Chains A and B, each alone.
Chain A
Amino acid sequence: MADGTSVPIDVIAPGQVRARRNTMQRFAQRRSTTGFFLCLPLILLIAAFVIYPAFYAIYLSMLNKKMTAFVGLGNFQFLLKRHTFQLVIFQSCLFAVTSVVLKAVIGFILAHLMHNIPGKNQRIWRGLLLVPWVIPLALSTLTWWWMFDPSYSAFNWVLNQFGIDNVPWLGVGWTARFCTIAVNVWYGTPFFMIMYLAALKSVPEQLYEAAAIDGANTIQKLFFVTLPMMRNIIAITVLFSLIVTFADFDIVRILTAGGPQDMTHVFATYAFQIGIQSGDIPLGAADSLFMFPILAFAAFFVLRGVTRRTKEIAA
């Protein structure tokens, strides 16, 4: 045989062999088959490190504290009745929404400023502004913690130079909330900036020229050309950031550990405290799963919008 394989005579009819070979060849030659095999390592990794833990967490969240009996949704019901957990829901939403909005606005402004810096200088500024995003988060948060430190705060030292009293940055509820959000914004803004910058660069120059001929001013160009062309990128970036910010652990854990008086706890830090520190893993799992419906809800609407707009553009 041409391909060097041998088949015992009379076992399979020649016609059947040809048909099977053709089917196999067609299957192997399909682009989707190649694609599937190329994706297989990633699929296996996601299955092992995302899907399995997610289902295991759901299983754990339905057990009693000693993990000996099935309690259904009992842990979720219990959590919802607790005043501290209601505070955690409020704080998580406040932390995520405020951070993402601020990151989106500041990132958008920075991207425009960056877009207007010519040539080589733009690369330098782009590199510098990406630094917060590149430094390991735990490390940079520790630096912030030192700057907010109650006794040796660099910020307080500066305030003292102007005759202003020390501010207990991490010791008062709303101030501590502000600090955690500020650090998250500092860390996450470069991501928005770089995404928006990429989107800005892909807007065709002809659209601006056409708008200019029509007499559009800068604001009108922004609202009727730039923003519509960036909508999909903005939506995807906001969704991605919302997911990451809701799941944030490092910043709150390092800066305040949830204090003072539980006023800065987010889902992840609270789950760690009740699940790992207090030995109630099912309750910790239930707490962490509260993020899931909120994010699924956001993801559904954002992705639906993106799909609709993509179809409109294609049409």
Chain B
Amino acid sequence: MNKFKKFFYSQKAAPYVFVLPFILSFLLFWIYPLCSTITMSFQDITPTGTEWIGAKNFAKLLKDTVFHTAIKNSFQYMILTLVLLIPFPMFFAVLMDSRLVKAKGFWKACLYVPALTSVVISGTLFRLMFSEYPTGQMNVITAALGLGTFKWLKMKATGLGALLLVACWRWTGVNMLYFISGLKAIDTAMYEAADIDGATAWQKFRYVTIPLLKPTTVYVLTISVYAGLAMFMESYMLWAGPDSPNNIGLTIVGYLYKRGITKNQLGYGSAVGIVLLVIALAINIVQLILNGTLKKEEN
């Protein structure tokens, strides 16, 4: 017993004791579910029993047009959020970081507020605003502009637009803050040197700001890619459930939820999850290669 106590308090054992919770959580809530998702994806799980069905779930996914729609939607959404949620927040951050803007703190707070709200709340607000009834806010605006009213959440373009608007509404401020802190980390000497060389504002932005902001950009890019691919609750709230007209709001995770939870088809739902996993890993590898991070890790 004493020996054990001594060992427990030794410098050798301590770090393992410290990381023990992580190891437990890793095994229980990561490795195990990950493995079981893989096994389940090869099974047909019904209330009356579980059956191994080989790759049938995946074969079915290949033919499942609804799933293809889901993948397409998720990718479209992800790419468009990247287009909207990286350049604009970066531009706003540069402005904010300059001395041009008055009352910075106030605007920063305003832009940040949406991130504090739950998706349930923001989704509901936006659903009401995009209501197809003439009293919906968007219809009031378009009607006032003489454009008539629209069934916003029934058409692909406007439906996706609404989703993107929710995304921009919630994340513009957050991403802007990321970039601001990235800018703060840039050594002012760099700009002074550029000034001496007679660089224009654009040149400084292009050749100093952008390259030195790269770590931040990569970070924002990574979280945006993940958030974009895994988006579900936004669409769930905007259409008040996992269903949307012509599946315009269906995403990969939405389909996983619908099959696995609503329809209780754990096997097929897991197969959807595996596809998402493969996509996520592929993106990771591409990103690691592009960043040359692989090399750094070796050192």
Q: Are chains A and B native binding partners rather than an unrelated pairing?
A: no
Interface residues of B (CB under 8 A from A): none
